[in-house]
């Protein structure tokens, strides 16, 4: 774990700087390098930079033959970048994927020697003078001055590193995100980082990334770091595709790639919303036109942007799927997504088998779908990989609607599978598990509904056991409706449940009704039976909120206490209908008034 951690930070910077510098042309990079050498008094400042100073590699990156080469991405960083992805995958959500690239040697810490540090140190006062109005740059420049010329030879304790070096790295990271940052300052910061990153940060990284190798969800901070790494790596890969194509990409595609890098870290919600809108509109336009020979596969690039947003930004997670439906680009997205998953999963694995099956979506052998899904469910996958599967199933359902009925059968036949998928959806779409995601309903809506049905059935079973132990209801009374009470019952359960509720009401009337309390088990049981009979997701949401449940229970008790006289004058069916109407009449208005009166926070319901 330690060796992995100590190599993480250098590679993070290489990827990040590679993507940032890729926004500039060769001429801009050359001019910036001239300025940097003039201002830094670098050892080779007397040598005029020429076009020969650059060697254009097949990868499309630039290599600088100078003492400042560590500040620029080189062809060699291609393997390092890929290696980072593999090393990070071994600790991140895709931990089961086997690395496909052998370990590369750590980059030489040439830029971390005392000679180069002195250059960065000498420039620091100039940076401070020119950027005194920008707090984060000011802080980093002051930090470099504070570290002094002897910094490379100093030996820091673990506490010293945590208190001095780590905050300075954070300063640089924050400053590099500034859009207004000049290229000269940007290069100086990367030079400083090239020295800071070679400090022995292993133990600190182990502490900071301690949960990264577990199967638990990443913390918010880790998610931000992971997303930034993936975004930089994806942008770098797409830049390489652009440079190796024989035709220049459209202005729209290049503009979107630059917007992708400028989404901020963490991703800004407003920018993300506009970005996904722009990508989908551009993708729809691309898919409607034939691709020219030798041209960049811009459709694939746009899909990769969408998939990144769908996987890494919560607010974009549902929006991307909705946009895919709205613009009817499901087939184009599906084809690229499947190709990416086939490339990512090992040949012969259950995941590879399922995605191979879904590749031929229009002529899918539907009988093979559920066995393939079951085989995949036996794997221990990360939440990230489950998210990919659900996305593909959701999009696949827009192309082949038979998938919905097969998925419904799979869920209805297994409590274990339903609970597993339900937990996954809840993690991916927090506080939205009961929301009707789409109309007509899709796979996510189906899973949410079936998981909620199962959860409610388990709650009812617990209430029934308590009612029997309390002597309120007998097992004989509960036996007739037992089938319609099952979570996966198919058919009309309303008549049977109405009879069951009538039996329960008469059972209550046979006792001393005035002793009934809102906290009694029978009250909650009645409310949950009503929500089941009417398939009322809104009522279920209210029952899931403690404050709302208390008000509903009190209402129900008052109404039941007056039921004896009303039942004598009308049928139970009429009474029950009026009971249900009165129970929820102006309920949310009453709830808000109660909240205001008691000064409590407004309750949130699952159905919101």
SS3 of 129-144: HHCCCCHHHHHHHHHH
Both 322 and 335 in a single domain? no
Asked which of 310, 328, 346 is the last residue of a domain, the reply is: 328
Residue where a domain terminates, one of 428, 449, 470: 449
User: 203 and 81, same structural domain?
Assistant: yes
pTM across the whole model: 0.64
pLDDT value for 239:
85
571 and 533 share one domain? yes
Stronger pLDDT, 83 or 460, i.e. the higher one = 460
- Structure tokens belonging to residue 364: 């899918």
Question: What pLDDT, on a 0 to 100 scale, did the predictor assign at position 151?
Answer: 84
Smallest CA-to-CA distance from 152 within 183, 124, 114, 119 is with 114
| The pair of three-digit structure tokens given for residue 494, joined into one six-digit string | 């309303």
Residue 417 belongs to some domain of the structure: yes
- The answer to whether residue 411 is domain-embedded is yes
8 A C-beta contact, residue 500 and residue 481: yes
Asked which of 449, 484, 516 is the last residue of a domain, the reply is 449
Tell me which of 77-91, 100-114, 319-333 is least confident.
Answer: 77-91
Tokens of 239: 């830049």
Closest CA to 379 of 357, 400, 399, 350: 350
Structure tokens at 68: 């400042």
- My answer on whether 361 and 309 are in the same domain is no
Same domain, 27 and 164: yes
Same domain, 442 and 508: no
Residues in the chain, overall count: 608
230 within a domain of the structure (yes/no): no
First to last CA, the chain: 43
Q: What is the DSSP letter of 402?
A: H
Same domain, yes or no: 349 and 412: yes
**Are residues 49 and 188 both part of a single domain?**
yes
The pair of three-digit structure tokens given for residue 230, joined into one six-digit string: 């993936």
Q: Is residue 490 part of a domain?
A: yes
Same domain for 395 and 458?
no
- Band of the pLDDT at 504, cuts 50, 70, 90? very high
Q: What's the confidence (pLDDT) of residue 156?
A: 73
For 59-69, the pLDDT digits (tens) are 333 333 333 33
Rounded to whole angstroms, how far apart are CA atoms 85 and 95? 11
Say yes or no: 109 and 18 in one domain. Answer: yes
Domain contains 93: yes
Residue 379 placed within a domain = yes
The span from the CA of 569 to the CA of 84, in Å, is 77
In a domain, 235, yes or no: no
Which domain does 440 fall in, by range? 331-449
Looking at 256-265, 402-411, 415-424, which range is the least confident one? 256-265
Q: Does 214 map to a domain?
A: no
Contacts of 161 (CB under 8 A, 6+ apart): 199, 200, 201, 204
| Structure tokens belonging to residue 453 | 């049905």
Tens of pLDDT, residues 284-333 = 999 988 877 777 889 999 999 999 999 999 899 999 999 998 888 999 99
Same domain, 472 and 547: yes
Same domain, 423 and 552: no
Average pLDDT over residues 141-146: 89
pLDDT of residue 207: 52
The structural domain count of the chain equals 4
> pLDDT (tens digit, 9 = 90+) per residue, 195-235?
876 666 555 545 554 443 333 344 555 678 778 888 888 88
Bond preceding residue 266 cis, omega within 30 of 0: yes
């Amino acid at each position: 774990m330690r060796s992995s951690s100590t190599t993480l930070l250098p590679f993070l910077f290489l990827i990040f700087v590679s993507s940032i510098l890729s926004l500039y042309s060769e001429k801009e990079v050359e001019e910036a390098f001239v300025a940097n050498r003039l201002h830094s008094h670098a050892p080779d400042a007397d040598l005029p930079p020429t076009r020969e100073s650059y060697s254009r590699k097949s990868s499309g990156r630039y290599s600088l033959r100078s003492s400042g080469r560590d500040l620029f991405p080189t062809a060699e960083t291609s393997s390092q970048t890929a290696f980072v992805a593999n090393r990070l995958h071994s600790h991140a959500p895709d931990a089961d994927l086997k690395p496909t690239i052998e370990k590369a040697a750590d980059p030489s810490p040439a830029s971390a020697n005392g000679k180069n540090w002195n250059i960065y140190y000498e420039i620091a006062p100039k940076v401070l003078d020119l950027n005194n109005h920008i707090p984060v740059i000011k802080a980093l420049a002051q930090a470099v001055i504070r570290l002094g010329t002897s910094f490379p030879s100093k030996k820091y304790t673990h506490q010293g590193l945590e208190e001095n070096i780590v905050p300075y790295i954070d300063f640089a990271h924050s400053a590099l995100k500034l859009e207004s940052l000049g290229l000269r300052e940007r290069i100086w910061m990367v030079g400083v980082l090239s020295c800071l990153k070679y400090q022995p940060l292993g133990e600190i990284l182990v502490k900071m990334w301690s949960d990264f190798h577990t199967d638990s969800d990443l913390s918010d901070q880790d998610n931000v770091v992971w997303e930034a790494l993936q975004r930089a790596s994806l942008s770098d890969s797409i830049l390489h595709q652009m440079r190796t194509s024989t035709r220049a990409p459209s202005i729209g595609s290049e503009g979107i790639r630059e917007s992708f890098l400028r989404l901020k870290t963490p991703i800004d919600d407003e920018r993300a919303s506009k970005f996904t809108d722009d990508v989908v509109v551009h993708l729809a336009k691309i898919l409607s036109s034939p691709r020219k020979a030798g041209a960049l596969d811009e459709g694939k690039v746009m899909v990769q942007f969408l998939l990144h947003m769908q996987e890494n930004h919560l607010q974009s997670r549902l929006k991307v799927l909705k946009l895919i439906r709205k613009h009817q680009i499901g087939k184009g997205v599906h084809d690229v997504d499947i190709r990416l998953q086939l490339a990512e999963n090992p040949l012969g694995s259950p995941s590879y088998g399922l995605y191979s099956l879904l590749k031929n979506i229009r002529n899918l052998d539907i009988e093979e779908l559920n066995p393939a899904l079951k085989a995949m469910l036996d794997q221990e996958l990360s939440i990230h990989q489950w998210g990919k599967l659900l996305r593909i199933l959701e999009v696949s359902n827009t192309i082949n609607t038979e998938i919905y009925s097969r998925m419904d059968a799979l869920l209805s036949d297994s409590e274990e599978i339903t609970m597993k998928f339900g937990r996954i959806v809840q993690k991916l779409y927090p506080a939205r598990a009961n929301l009707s995601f789409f109309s007509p309903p899709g796979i996510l809506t189906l899973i949410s509904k079936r998981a909620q049905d199962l959860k409610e059935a388990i709650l009812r079973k617990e209430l029934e056991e308590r009612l029997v132990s309390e002597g309120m209801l007998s097992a004989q009374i509960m036996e007739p409706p037992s089938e319609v009470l099952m979570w996966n019952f198919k058919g009309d359960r309303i008549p049977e449940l109405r009879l069951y509720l009538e039996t329960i009401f008469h059972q209550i009337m046979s006792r001393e009704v005035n002793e009934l309390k809102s906290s009694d088990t029978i009250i909650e049981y009645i409310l949950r039976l009503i929500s089941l009979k009417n398939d009322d997701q809104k009522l279920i949401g209210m029952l899931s909120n403690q404050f709302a449940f208390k008000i509903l229970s009190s209402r129900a008790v008052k109404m039941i206490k007056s039921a004896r006289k009303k039942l004598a004058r009308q049928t139970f069916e009429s009474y029950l209908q009026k009971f249900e109407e009165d129970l929820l009449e102006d309920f949310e208005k009453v709830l808000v008034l109660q909240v205001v009166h008691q000064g409590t926070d407004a309750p949130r319901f699952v159905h919101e």
